[in-house]
Amino acid sequence: MPKANWKAEVCPKKAGKGWDIVDAYSIEIAKKDRVSYCDLVELSEKLSVLEGVMGEECNIFVQMKTLELLGNEIQRIYDINLDSVKNIFLGIIEDEEHHRELLLTIKVLFKQKEQEMLVEDPLVRYRGILHKK
């Protein structure tokens, strides 16, 4: 495997959802003066989700590196260029990132709408219109 020359500013993009989760947890915990038992239970549940996400990200990374190495070997041994296949996989990855961005945008829009509804009618939450948080 080649040595990685990573730059810190690239990490959030490369780590994807896992980085966002860790960042959100860090901010959440940093806001607390003291961590209670309930906080620890909630954190352990969130870390369990994070473990699954990071496992998935690592799996994808290993698969991509494996495909890259196999592609290089196939090209070297059989003199076949697999750049088009590589471009297909890169397109799939870019689509996934784009879908994440779209879902985040939708979530932000829903939150904004909830806030607008609360400003218009502060009791809307208690009338069952908004989901419990």
Backbone angles phi, psi at 124, to 5 degrees: -60, -35
Last residue of a domain, one of 80, 100, 116: 80
133 pLDDT more than 70:
no
Q: Please indicate, yes or no, whether residues 72 and 87 belong to a single structural domain of this protein.
A: no
Q: Please indicate, yes or no, whether residues 122 and 69 belong to a single structural domain of this protein.
A: no
Domain that holds residue 60: 1-80
Q: Please indicate, yes or no, whether residues 22 and 67 belong to a single structural domain of this protein.
A: yes
Last residue of a domain, one of 80, 97, 112: 80
Q: For residue 125, name the pLDDT band (cuts at 50, 70, 90).
A: low
- In total, how many domains does the chain have? 2
Q: Please indicate, yes or no, whether residues 51 and 101 belong to a single structural domain of this protein.
A: no
Q: Give the number of other Cβ atoms within 10 Å of residue 18's Cβ.
A: 19
| Radius of gyration for the chain, computed over Cα atoms and rounded to the nearest angstrom | 21
If you count them, how many residues does the chain have?
133
Q: Please indicate, yes or no, whether residues 114 and 103 belong to a single structural domain of this protein.
A: yes
Q: Please indicate, yes or no, whether residues 37 and 102 belong to a single structural domain of this protein.
A: no
Q: Please indicate, yes or no, whether residues 19 and 63 belong to a single structural domain of this protein.
A: yes
pLDDT at 6: 63
Taking the model in full, what pTM does it have? 0.39
Q: Please indicate, yes or no, whether residues 124 and 105 belong to a single structural domain of this protein.
A: yes
Q: Please indicate, yes or no, whether residues 69 and 92 belong to a single structural domain of this protein.
A: no
Residue 23 CB partners (closer than 8 Å, separation 6+): 12
Among residues 50, 52, 74, 54, the alpha carbon closest in space to that of 62 is found at 54
Over the stretch 79-94, which tens digit does the pLDDT of each residue have?
877 777 778 878 887 8
Over the stretch 15-66, which tens digit does the pLDDT of each residue have?
666 677 778 878 887 888 887 777 777 777 777 777 777 777 778 778 878 8
Q: Give the separation between CA 43 and CA 6, rounded to whole angstroms.
A: 29
Q: Please indicate, yes or no, whether residues 69 and 121 belong to a single structural domain of this protein.
A: no
CA torsion sign for 95, 6, 56, 51 is: negative
